[in-house]
Amino acid sequence: MRIWMDGKLVEQQDAKVSVFDHGLLYGDGVFEGIRVYGGTIFQCQAHVDRLFDSARRIRLAIPLTKQEIVEAMHQALRANGLSEAYIRLVVTRGEGNLGLSPFLSPSPCIFIIPGQIQLYPPEMYEKGMAVIIAKTVRTAATMLDPSVKSLNYLNNIMAKIEAIDAGVPEAIMLNVQGHVAECTGDNIFTIKDGTAFTPPPPAGILIGITRGVVIKLAGRLGIPLAEKDLTPGDLYQADECFLTGTAAEVIAVTKIDDKVIGTGKPGPITNKLMAAFREFIRDSDQ
């Protein structure tokens, strides 16, 4: 594999960052995970816009234009002969010293990893998946802006460990008010009496790109949808539940903790949205 790194294509074993990089020392940086379908970078502009917005919010100046970032991603794909891929696009604060000050790191580090990802096995997309509600509480929006897709994922990782310990692949995180926020790597939707619900941004969520696509598709399909604070009780009583994310795409949840959701199988509205999402991917006007 060849990695695009600070303007050069290097072999995987040569793609290295300094031990003094603040991305490594403090999780100081931003990233995007991006799908590539049929050679097309999926929702490319939305991802690049979010990267720059995240960087702006933490006062990290990206030393490239948006178009240069897009071209760098294409270079990495061409260098590896990939038309179906998962891109990890990362901007760290760069090399500094052992102090916290970000202003002593004058040169951000940018790298692009063009690889593959399979978050969940294929059978889960057919049968649905079990999840838990984590005891780890989502970092409050007043502590860290959830719209920043930062390199500091320890909060999510602790909830992920809970899921793994419980023998399931994903965990739902509640916010400090006890409302549903999001999963460790995915946004969450429920269906009740034909209406789809998803937590609003103030609940402490990362506003997912795939989440936005699914909201748009629900509108096209005439499926009522509302952003609403959800409780664990709302989850347990839902007719259907599903997750969305760049790596996850759209996947049904059929069990939460010990509670079977709906019939215990992916529901009709979830299946309709999954099919619409696959069709959207094939659409050349993504």
Instruction: Identify the CATH number of the domain in which residue 249 sits.
Output: 3.20.10.10
> In the prediction, which pLDDT does 196 show?
98
Question: Domain check: are 200 and 93 in the same one?
Answer: no
* Cα gap 151→138, rounded to integer Å: 16
Q: How far apart (Å, rounded) are the C-alpha atoms in residues 167 and 177?
A: 27
For 77, the domain range is: 2-115
Picking from 52, 84, 115, the residue at the C-terminal end of a domain is 115
Give me the pLDDT at residue 286, please.
Answer: 44
- pTM for the model: 0.94
Q: Name the band, by pLDDT with cuts 50, 70 and 90, for residue 284.
A: low
- One domain, residues 155 and 260: yes
The percent of residues in the chain predicted with pLDDT above 90, rounded, is: 95
Tokens for 224, please give them. 């009522």
Does 242 have pLDDT greater than 70? yes
Per-residue model confidence as pLDDT tens digits over 89-143: 999 999 999 999 999 999 999 999 999 998 899 999 999 999 999 999 999 989 9
Which entry of 149, 160, 255, 259 is annotated as an active-site residue? 149
Q: What pLDDT is attached to residue 236? A: 98
For residues 142 and 231, state if they share a domain. yes
Integer Rg of the chain from CA? 19
Same domain, 104 and 245: no
| Active site (annotated) includes residue 135 | no
Last residue of a domain, one of 81, 115, 149: 115
Q: What percentage of the chain reaches a pLDDT higher than 70?
A: 99
Give me the pLDDT at residue 283, please.
81
Could you report the per-residue pLDDT of 16-64, keeping only the tens digit for each? Answer: 999 999 999 999 999 999 999 999 999 999 999 999 999 999 999 999 9
How far the first Cα of the chain sits from its last, in Å, is 27
Residues 182 and 271 in one domain: yes
Count the domains in the chain: 2
* CATH code for the domain of 6: 3.30.470.10
